[in-house]
Amino acid sequence: MIYLIVSAYSFEDRIQRGLNVPVSKLGYFSMPYSVSGDIRTVVMNEIAQIEEIKNFGTIDFGVANTSESIGFLREVQQGHFNGTDDGISGIETSVMDAGLWDVMNLKLKEGKAPGEYTVDDEQRDILLYVSEKYEDIVGVGDIYCDYTYDGQMVYRYIVAGVLDADSYLIDPYVFSEELLDRVGSYSLEYGILEVTQWGNYGGCFFSFGSENDYDLINAKLREISQKYGEQIDVFRISSIVGYIKSDADRNTAYLKEAAIFCLRTSRPARSTNPPGKT
């Protein structure tokens, strides 16, 4: 029972560890993956115009980095894939939209933030941010390119910065009901962060300023949903925290009742005879 309570009530702290904004100022919206690419692009362009949204974007983690040009970084990563130490879960390669840079707990030790860069090709150029664990083998300004078999460039990785090992990202699936471990956030101690100018807009985190701003965002997203006839789900991350706490309280109450029942039914019957007599 104690574990359930502590785990649930520390869940918010674990989420907050991955953020540079309060959990109470973070939301999430998503569209079904069945929405066509053209419609999705139009809808996302309209969402980008909602002035109450401060920052938004998507994150993908646990990416199987098969890029040949930066494959040597995996030699350092070996043995640190999604490792857990003292309750802190680590993560190796993550892909994040540039729009979320100011939202996440990213401590830049060297280099420049994405907003200070002008990339030549938004579809091919990827800004690479590496943990300080890699600073002996890569340097800010280094460029690594992937090519097709006939010499056409696919992606160009630009080492844009070095992150303090004490940097974190929110768990991209923090809202998932199927997620049982509730890690809340991931350490980038051995992480590689690929920052892109585009996103896989299945779902996006977004930050906002006030309760009124959230209500306005919610209303505007509903209008966009109705306009295009496409479902858009929206919720606050703090509501997930509240749900987990309530669920823990309910489970704890059930366990307490079960424990009392077991104690009552397993208690030895008291003898009615005086001591020494049968």
Phi, psi of 151 (to 5 degrees): 90, 10
Phi, psi for 19 (deg, rounded to 5): -120, 155
Which helix (H) or strand (E) element contains residue 51? none
Answer yes or no: are the C-beta atoms of 92 and 82 closer than 8 Å. Answer: yes
Query: From the CB of residue 63, how many other CB atoms can be counted at a distance below 10 Å?
Result: 14
Report the predicted TM-score, pTM, of the whole model to 2 decimal places. Answer: 0.79
pLDDT in tens, 30-78: 998 888 888 888 999 999 999 999 999 999 875 555 678 888 887 777 6
Distance CA 218, CA 29 (A): 9
Give the residue with greater pLDDT, 32 vs 79.
32
pLDDT in tens, 153-190: 999 999 999 999 999 999 888 877 655 557 888 888 88
Going along the chain from its start, the domains and CATH numbers come out as 1-57+201-267 (3.30.70.100), 59-199 (no CATH)
